[in-house]
Amino acid sequence: MDTKAFKRSLHSSENYYRKGFGHSKEVTGTLDFEYQSDLIQQIRNNGYTLQSGDVTIRLAEAFGFCWGVERAVALAYETRQQFPTKRIWLTNEIIHNPSVNQNLKEMQVEFIPVNDKEQKDFSVVAQEDVVILPAFGATVQEMELLNEKGCKIMDTTCPWVSKVWNSIEKHKKANYTSIIHGKYKHEETVATTSFAGTYLVVLNLQEAEYICNYILNGGNREELLTKFVGAHSLGFDPDTDLVNVGIANQTTMLKGETEQIGKLFERTLMRKYGPAELNDHFLSFNTICDATQERQDAMFKLVEEKLDLMVVVGGYNSSNTTHLQEISIERSIPSYHIDSAERIGPGNRIEHKKLHKDLDVVENWLPSGPIVVGITSGASTPDKVVANVIQKIFDIKATM
């Protein structure tokens, strides 16, 4: 499929929307009430620090809702305002935050059902319905199907994700294999790969090193294909499809690791083909999201301070939140990833998600005496959720 031509056709359709409907004033008031917090603004105004009793809160200087997330949520709310009586569907969670998705459900925004084979059942969508594409985007196939149905489409895809898609299309046009730093099952990467020609998804630097070693030295073809099953395009052949490669990424991955992976492939292809031939075998564009980068940079700055523990707030399926937690764990700071204040209590206990593991319950997680608690949140987390967590911490310490 010529994805570029399809996008042009879709964007010119009278049923396709990427902007609001003029309800920003009403929507802004609702969003401020549901997601903003006077307490968080107070902490910001006080140099990102607040002390209460034995607790000193140190807030990261960049955290929470990014512009792309705020835009997606606002567009979803405007869509309900514009079509108050129509049935509205979401192809995936609008963002990875349980409270935001629950609020949309309460507004009668429904999710496309998934069958027992984990396939979405779009047969529920009628021509008179409205379908919202989330901030992560949707696959070309999903957009094509919805366009053929003739339903109205509100596309809230983050512009940074669209920027990655543009890079992927340049790889495809030049017959380069797209090496995508990401999680191959993540909604964003699934959407991104649908725009690609030949592609391979690498999760981390270790997987990238494995591929680069194969490029330089060859290896067991079947072992590679088994190792990356599900993470490559149909018919991918490492012996022919790793000659020309382009680098892209899932926008929520660790900036430093994406850069390392890009440089690794650049060095590898330079060694393989020589400096004079490098540009014939390697393409790289900057597709690292500014908001993701800012939150990671703020986290790196925060963990340099003397912290007794770190609380990372965000959806458990949020990639950018997980990477923030990685940063504090690498500094050996006791770290707790929770998706809401309801994970704290009763008493001095917390139910949190250990890195790349299941939920775990810890009793007496807040130590006695004066403590300094670092706080950050993922790009899909409202300020009000963070404020509720901070208030819970204050309440527990006040009784100790």
* Positions marked catalytic: 188
Residue 159, Cα to own-chain centre: how many angstroms? 13
Q: How far apart are CA 162 and CA 187, in angstroms?
A: 14
The amino acid present at 231, given as its one-letter code, is A
Q: What is the dihedral of CA 362, 367, 371, 376, to 10 degrees?
A: 0
> What is the C-alpha to C-alpha distance for residues 206 and 251, in angstroms, rounded to an integer?
19
* Strand order from edge to edge, sheet including 359-363: 49-52, 55-59, 371-377, 309-313, 335-338, 349-353, 359-363
Contact 253, 166 (CB under 8 A): no
Give me the amino acid identity at 300. Answer: F
Beta strands in the chain (DSSP E): 16-17, 49-52, 55-59, 88-90, 109-111, 130-133, 152-155, 177-181, 199-202, 245-249, 282-284, 309-313, 335-338, 349-353, 359-363, 371-377
Give the other-Cβ count within 10 Å of 47's Cβ: 10
162-166-168 Cα angle (round to 5) = 110
C-alpha–C-alpha distance, residues 182 and 192, integer Å: 10
251 secondary structure, DSSP code? T
Residues whose CB falls within 8 Å of the CB of residue 269, separated by 6 or more in sequence, listed in order? 215, 245, 278, 281, 282
Q: Are 310 and 335 in contact (CB under 8 A)?
A: yes
Amino acid identity of residue 271, one-letter, is R
> Pick from 311, 188, 87: which is nearest to 180 by CA?
188
